[in-house]
Copies of this chain bind each other. A is one copy, B any other.
Amino acid sequence: MTHRIDFQPDPTNYKHWNVSYDGPVAQLVMDVDETEGLFDGYELKLNSYDLGVDIELSDIVQRMRFEHPEVKVIVMQSGKDKVFCAGANIRMLAGAEHAHKVNFCKFTNETRNTYEAAEQDSGQKYVAAVRGSCAGGGYELALACNHIMLVDDHTSSVALPEVPLLAVLPGTGGLTRVTDKRKVRRDLADVFCSVEEGVKGKRAVDWRLVDEVVPNSKFDEIVATRATEFAAASSKDDVAQGVLLTPLDRRFAEDGSVSYSTVEVTADRAARTVTVTVKGPDEDAPADMAAFQAEGAQAWMLRCARELDDAILHLRLNEPELGLIEFQTQGDPDRVIAHEKLLLENADHWLANEVLKYWKRVLKRVDLTSRSMVAIVEHGSCYAGVLAELLWSVDRSYMMLEEFEGDNRPMATITLSEANFGLFPMSNDLSRLETRFYGTPDSVDALRDQIGTSLDAEEAETLGLVTYAYDDIDWEDEVRLFKEERASFSPDAMTGMEANLRFAGPETMETRIFGRLTAWQNWIFNRPNAVGPDGALQRYGTGKRGDYNMQRV
């Protein structure tokens, strides 16, 4: 594999961010090393970023929650003079393949969503303290914070100059957050997104683009005051000791397979499919949260989430031709339920909360992965509680019915838990069961009666929990035919179809970002006006504007 992108940076050696801690307030300083781009061919000038910069940010945000639960306020600032952040690096975008652009945007969007939700999920509030130019993806970094402060120095501004300058959209949530989160009046949003130089000073507050402007001379002081105030007002419990996120136990093989302690990734390049097998816990659940915390990153519920998360990201960025992900589980369903139960019963414990919220994010990451996905429920599997969510994340599912000759594993079952009824909402804010039974909401209520029951294939099919149940005679052919069929379809059509079918019903700001905004951006990323030889991205920095075909569609 050429240049595998690694989503596990070394936290002792970040290249682009400095983090410092002082009780409940952390300082997060963006100071991009322009020579340390993830690929060759561009320099990360003016605090512009590429995927490598965002991988570090994502890691920091994650560690903030597990390793630094004492933190209640995070102040995001720039380590450069005169510029907060210039946004995604244009030369990187201009040189990147379409698929990389799309996956880069998806990952940065997920990172923005994660720290945006940190206040509600974990009581960690992000404050953007903006000094200097804050443009494009830079302003989108700030938009995902919970509070935006802008220095009033006659030059510092916020801007979304993508449309006039680059002929692409502010696609990392920019357009959606301006209207839906900041609730900027749509004609003012139109003006704002059309002016390269952006908006500064009082007008930025009047237009709702920032929460406050602060005189330059008092900026550091007022930022510090605000951080202290927010920390004091926080309802987050005081937690003295976090949990260290130790390095993942993983091995990459030549053939594309990856082994983690609880996740096995097996690629079949010829068939363009990959099997992701999640292994249930081997040990009994910790006795209490003290024991869980003592296990730390080795506790199965946390370890498995981290490994599955890493596996999904690896497949997305490094294995674009493995078009079908086949989920399997193997293990003892009762043990899965027992491990989960400890957290459910202690959901007000900070660490239990963090682990459950992390599973929410990992499962959303699965939903948003633009690969066809199927869950295979074999004998010996452990689709129980949180792992059962995989059944309804995927596009369809197949379950073994009755005994299979020569298969001595325990018969395939599915076990629901309380967690399946709202603890892991999708981006559309519905549970996976609510989304699945969007047409028959009563079915969801009825399923509550099944909590804790080992449901066999016939029951699971009748209850609508799996798509198909097949016995020994039909199983192999049906699963094989499905995989062959899926592998023969156009990947683009699959992506479009799945993006529509997976998110039935109501939309949220999050689904609007991944649905409406991203779909338009991907369209633009295919149009010559942006990416062609005379398009704006290629011409950026040459002093010449893009040469556009002026036909509207």
Q: Type the 1/0 row for A428-443, where 1 means its CB is closer than 8 Å to any CB of B.
A: 0000000111111000
Min CB distance, A494 to chain B, in Å?
Answer: 7
Quick one: which of B167, B185, B523 contacts A439, CB cutoff 8 A? B185
Is there contact, CB below 8 Å, between B552 and A99?
A: yes
Is there contact, CB below 8 Å, between A492 and B320?
A: no
Min CB distance, A540 to chain B, in Å?
Answer: 13
| Contact segment of A67-75, A128-136, A288-296, A496-504 | A496-504
Min CB distance, A419 to chain B, in Å?
Answer: 20
Is there contact, CB below 8 Å, between B526 and A499?
A: no
User: Which residues of B sit under 8 angstroms from A214, Cβ to Cβ?
Assistant: none
Min CB distance, A315 to chain B, in Å?
Answer: 10
Asked whether A519 is an interface residue with its Cβ less than 8 Å from the other chain, the reply is yes
**Beta-carbon nearest neighbor of A435 in chain B:** B186
Asked whether A423 is an interface residue with its Cβ less than 8 Å from the other chain, the reply is no
Is there contact, CB below 8 Å, between B550 and A323?
A: yes
Quick one: which of B208, B397, B491 contacts A553, CB cutoff 8 A? B491
Asked whether A505 is an interface residue with its Cβ less than 8 Å from the other chain, the reply is yes
If A186-B502, A320-B553, A500-B520 touch, does A489 touch B163 (CB 8 Å cutoff)? yes
Min CB distance, A98 to chain B, in Å?
Answer: 6
Considering residues A99, A519, A549, which has the most beta carbons from chain B within 10 angstroms of its beta carbon? A519
Is there contact, CB below 8 Å, between B439 and A163?
A: no
Is there contact, CB below 8 Å, between B190 and A395?
A: yes
Quick one: which of B169, B185, B370, B512 contacts A497, CB cutoff 8 A? B169
Quick one: which of B183, B492, B504 contacts A180, CB cutoff 8 A? B504
If A523-B519, A526-B526, A536-B490 touch, does A370 touch B553 (CB 8 Å cutoff)? yes
Is there contact, CB below 8 Å, between B464 and A185?
A: yes
Asked whether A188 is an interface residue with its Cβ less than 8 Å from the other chain, the reply is yes
Min CB distance, A476 to chain B, in Å?
Answer: 19
Q: Type the 1/0 row for A508-520, where 1 means its CB is closer than 8 Å to any CB of B.
A: 0000100111011
Is there contact, CB below 8 Å, between A527 and B526?
A: yes
Is there contact, CB below 8 Å, between B438 and A179?
A: yes
User: Which residues of B sit under 8 angstroms from A335, Cβ to Cβ?
Assistant: none
Min CB distance, A364 to chain B, in Å?
Answer: 16
If A439-B184, A464-B185, A500-B520 touch, does A492 touch B179 (CB 8 Å cutoff)? no
Min CB distance, A169 to chain B, in Å?
Answer: 5
User: Which residues of B sit under 8 angstroms from A168, Cβ to Cβ?
Assistant: 493
Is there contact, CB below 8 Å, between B490 and A530?
A: yes
If A501-B193, A553-B102 touch, does A164 touch B320 (CB 8 Å cutoff)? no
Min CB distance, A147 to chain B, in Å?
Answer: 16
User: Which residues of B sit under 8 angstroms from A163, Cβ to Cβ?
Assistant: 489-490, 493-494, 497
User: Which residues of B sit under 8 angstroms from A437, Cβ to Cβ?
Assistant: 185
Asked whether A521 is an interface residue with its Cβ less than 8 Å from the other chain, the reply is yes
Quick one: which of B436, B491, B495, B502 contacts A550, CB cutoff 8 A? B491
Provide a sorted-by-A list of 20 A–B residue pairs whose CB atoms are within 8 angstroms. A162-B493, A163-B489, A169-B500, A175-B501, A183-B438, A186-B438, A186-B501, A187-B394, A188-B467, A190-B467, A190-B497, A272-B550, A320-B551, A321-B552, A493-B529, A500-B516, A500-B517, A519-B522, A520-B522, A523-B526
